[in-house]
Chain A
Amino acid sequence: SQQGEEDPQALSIQEGENATMNCSYKTSINNLQWYRQNSGRGLVHLILIRSNEREKHSGRLRVTLDTSKKSSSLLITASRAADTASYFCATDTGAQKLVFGQGTRLTINP
């Protein structure tokens, strides 16, 4: 079964607005990774956040991690049409394999 669960499953916003996606997981982790996937294509690595980190930034992306709540969030600021994609969180429990959620489908409307 999937370890991570993203919320919401689908999100539609206007260009320029901020998009927030959440991820919850069940077991202790070494790190959590966020990926973007455009329709029918491979996964693009966005950010890795380790269990001893609480927040990381990369450009317009901000990721937080709350290990006490077993949750993470991905914030995309000033969204663009090109941000339209599915976003996945994946947890690494130290077993070298990533366990993915079902993803959030983000649509940015012009």
Chain B
Amino acid sequence: DTGVSQDPRHKITKRGQNVTFRCDPISEHNRLYWYRQTLGQGPEFLTYFQNEAQLEKSRLLSDRFSAERPKGSFSTLEIQRTEQGDSAMYLCASSSWRGPSYNEQFFGPGTRLTVL
């Protein structure tokens, strides 16, 4: 399967703990995105990478959130000092800047975070 993969699929943590999620994009895609989705809502943009450069961050991405894509391949999203309001589905997507499907964003299965 050459789709976008995310790990873990589910994470339950206690308030105040740090969590880290991983995303592996489709191999030839140079763009990678993180979104957050809460129940009954559409996904909301968090941040975006082109290769290893983080080019945009949403206001939703507070100082407790940090994302990296060190070698332009996989990416990690870390949340420090988690709060109950961080409970959501965290979605990763990737896209290519060229080819017949350029700019089509393909999503992974998501990581569902529950903060107790």
Contacts and interface: CB of A to CB of B under 8 A. Distances in A.
A35 B107 contact: yes
**Most central of B31, B58, B103, B104 by chain A CB within 10 Å:** B103
Contacts of B31: 96
Interface of B: 31, 33, 35, 40-45, 48, 50, 55-56, 58, 89, 91, 93, 101, 103-110, 112
Nearest to A30: B103
B109 A45 contact: no
B99 to A, nearest CB: 12
Given A42-B108, A88-B43, 20 more contacts: A4-B42, A31-B103, A40-B89, A41-B109, A42-B107, A42-B110, A43-B93, A45-B104, A48-B103, A48-B104, A88-B42, A90-B42, A92-B103, A96-B48, A96-B55, A97-B48, A98-B35, A98-B93, A100-B44, A103-B41
A73 interface: no
Nearest to B47: A97
Contacts of B89: 40
16 contacts: A4-B42, A30-B103, A41-B109, A42-B110, A45-B104, A45-B106, A88-B42, A90-B42, A92-B103, A95-B56, A96-B48, A96-B50, A97-B45, A98-B93, A100-B42, A100-B43
Contacts of B48: 96-97
Given A42-B109, A96-B56, A97-B48, A102 B42 contact: yes
- The 9 tightest CB contacts between A and B, nearest first, are A100-B42, A43-B107, A97-B45, A42-B109, A48-B104, A42-B110, A42-B107, A100-B43, A88-B42
Given A42-B91, A43-B91, A99 B45 contact: yes
A33 interface: yes
Contacts of A30: 103
Interface string A46-58: 0010000000000
A44 B48 CA distance: 19
A97 B56 contact: yes
Contacts of A97: 33, 45, 48, 56, 58
B3 to A, nearest CB: 9
